[in-house]
């Protein structure tokens, strides 16, 4: 909650005289209203204004030039009544720091402007109040070495009044944070919120098109945690799309749902582009079959089917085969992969489709056996220890061995919907030399369900990873979703 501020000279004189004292009548009525509200807050001891002696001296000099010595003396008395003069400043250090600045915009800025920023930094105030914050942001940008690490919000008087009003009215115990738009609008967010949460709180399109963010005039990473008083400006590009990695650090439901919808829309558009490249002008004729395939794969619509193609959950090759034989394909077609088996003189060999048996989900390193039900059906790959092999005749079994050292898998997680819930999971995978691929996230009824793709080399590695993840806080359930063995010649006959 903002309570200690440092005002620059223009705002201080607007407060003690009135807006327009120097002939500047820009936004006069709004400034006068803000000054009246600031004066009320100061009188009620709800806002502490620090005024170092050098600012008092500058105020005296300015008023004396414009209005004479008597008025200047009156203004100084008024400043001392309203504000707390702060004498415990290390002025030698203040001047030394200020003199390191070299770029004063060709004389537009001066040593006083730099000292104001340095003074606020040294006093550790919660905000600096200025008529034109952008001027000071540009000054800091031109002197990055001098102001490295400076992180004090620079607000207009109107923004400060709005911020204090929001925090005291809606959040007296400080459970939320309140960030501000460049137009002085206050945005309330939960603790831990980021610029992406801020963007989606304003509008979904702004979040979807976000490319970077300025906080207090400086560009920051999009996972930066905001604090009360931060002035946030979202930079956007009309061609930008949501980044799946944002789901690992956003904390608001609005942002999570907006990102999910945005990603689904992007994947749907990409899926349609891919299928149009394959079907060309015949796409309208395929519409009934596309609807049939969507029903077969339990998709809500053809657009939903296109989304799975755009996200590569289903390949274009698989979709083509489904379209050509959609009346005969099983619901588990998505598990099928094709491979050229060796030793063509053996029964059941040659170019044959196969699929991983879901009853035992064999992985590289497991002893495996192929089961051939008929020449027209896909060969099923089982673990040699699978209980379902016991009652099969030996003629249907083919001894196989792996011809690969790893495979892609997907795991499904059920998590409590907490801020930054994915970071420890992804960190744990990276610690195990695994590159995670966050495929989907769905938020429902205070829980998050996620699918993460990865490459593993053995069942032992998978079990170790699952054990480590399941022991993390807020992880409710984790399981293997399916193996994705899409390398050619993944198995061969012994």
Domain finish residue from 295, 329, 363: 329
Q: Please write the tens of the pLDDT for every residue from 126-167.
A: 999 999 998 999 898 888 888 888 889 999 999 999 888 887
**pLDDT for 484:** 60
Residue 183: CATH number of its domain = 3.10.20.30
Residues 267 and 380 in one domain: no
Q: Which residues contact 211 (CB under 8 A, 6 or more apart)?
A: 235, 236, 237, 240
Q: What does the pLDDT average to over 203-231?
A: 92
Q: Alpha helix locations (H) across 203-252? A: 204-208
Predicted pLDDT of residue 325: 59
Note the pLDDT of residue 352: 52
Share the mean pLDDT of the chain.
Answer: 82
Residue 175 sits in the same domain as residue 284: no
Same-domain pairing of 121 and 185: no
12 lies in the same domain as 87: yes
Q: Measured between alpha carbons, how far is 364 from 456 in angstroms, rounded to an integer?
A: 9
For residues 153 and 176, state if they share a domain: no
Burial of 173 (0-12, 13-18, 19+ CB in 10 A): exposed
d(CA 10, CA 4) in angstroms, rounded, equals 18
The reply to whether 11 and 151 lie within a common domain is yes
Mode of pairing for the β-strands spanning 4-7 and 48-51? parallel
Q: 180-211 b/e with 16+ CB inside 10 Å = b?
A: beeebebbebeebbbbbbbbbbeebeebbbbe
Please determine, for residue 13, whether its predicted confidence score (pLDDT) is greater than 90: yes
Q: Is the residue at 322 inside a domain?
A: yes
Whether residues 389 and 462 share a domain: the answer is yes
How far apart, in whole angstroms, are the C-alpha atoms of residue 483 and residue 255? 31
Task: Tell me how many domains the chain contains.
Answer: 4
The reply to whether 42 falls in a domain is yes
Question: CA 387, 393, 396, 401: dihedral to nearest 10 degrees?
Answer: 50
**Enclosing domain of residue 188:** 171-240
Residue 253 domain flag: no
User: Could you tell me if 398 and 339 are in contact, meaning their C-beta atoms sit under 8 angstroms apart?
Assistant: no
Q: Which DSSP state fits 313?
A: S
Tokens of 65: 């030039």
pLDDT band at 170 (very low <50, low <70, confident <90, very high): low
């Amino acid at each position: 909650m903002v309570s200690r501020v440092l005002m620059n000279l223009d705002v201080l004189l607007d407060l003690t005289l009135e807006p327009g004292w120097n002939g500047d009548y820009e936004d006069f009525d709004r400034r006068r209203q803000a000054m009246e509200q600031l004066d009320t807050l100061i009188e009620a001891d709800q806002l502490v204004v620090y005024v170092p002696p050098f600012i008092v001296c500058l105020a005296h000099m300015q008023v004396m030039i414009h209005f004479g010595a008597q008025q200047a003396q009156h203004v100084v008395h008024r400043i001392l009544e309203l504000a707390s003069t702060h004498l415990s400043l290390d002025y030698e250090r203040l001047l030394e720091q200020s003199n390191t600045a070299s770029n004063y915009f060709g004389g537009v800025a001066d040593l006083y402007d730099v000292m104001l920023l340095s003074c606020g930094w040294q006093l550790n105030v919660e905000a600096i109040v200025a008529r034109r914050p952008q001027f000071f942001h540009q000054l800091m940008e031109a002197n990055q070495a001098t102001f490295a690490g400076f992180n004090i919000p620079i607000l207009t008087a109107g923004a400060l009044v709005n911020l204090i009003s929001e925090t005291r009215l809606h959040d007296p115990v400080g459970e939320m944070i309140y960030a501000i738009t460049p137009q002085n609008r206050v945005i309330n967010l939960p603790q831990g919120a980021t610029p992406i949460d801020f963007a989606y709180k304003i509008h979904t399109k702004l979040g979807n098109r976000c490319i970077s963010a300025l906080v207090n005039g400086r560009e920051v990473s999009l996972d930066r945690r905001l604090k009360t008083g931060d002035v946030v400006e979202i930079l956007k590009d009309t061609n930008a799309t949501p980044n799946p990695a944002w789901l690992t650090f956003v904390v608001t439901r609005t942002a999570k749902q907006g990102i999910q919808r945005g990603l689904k829309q992007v994947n749907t558009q990409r899926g349609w582009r891919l299928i149009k490249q394959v079907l060309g002008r015949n796409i309208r004729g395929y519409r009934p079959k596309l609807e049939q395939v969507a029903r077969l794969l339990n998709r809500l619509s053809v657009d939903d089917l296109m989304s799975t193609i755009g996200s590569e959950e289903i390949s274009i090759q698989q979709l083509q085969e489904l379209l050509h034989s959609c009346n005969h394909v099983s619901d588990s077609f998505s598990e099928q992969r094709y491979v050229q088996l060796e030793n063509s003189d053996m029964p059941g060999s040659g170019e044959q489709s196969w699929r991983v048996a879901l009853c035992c989900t064999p992985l590289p390193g497991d002893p495996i056996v192929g089961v051939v039900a008929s020449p027209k059906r896909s060969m099923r790959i089982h673990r040699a220890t699978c209980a379902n092999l016991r009652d099969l005749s030996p003629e249907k079994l083919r001894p196989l061995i792996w011809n690969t050292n790893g495979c892609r898998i997907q795991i499904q997680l059920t998590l409590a919907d907490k801020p930054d819930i994915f970071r420890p999971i992804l960190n744990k995978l990276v610690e195990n030399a695994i590159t995670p691929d966050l495929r989907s996230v769905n938020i429902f009824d205070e829980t998050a369900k996620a699918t993460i793709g990865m490459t593993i080399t053995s069942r032992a590695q998978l079990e170790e990873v699952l054990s480590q993840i399941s022991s993390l806080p807020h992880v409710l359930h984790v399981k293997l979703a399916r193996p994705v063995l899409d390398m050619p010649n993944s198995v061969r006959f012994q």
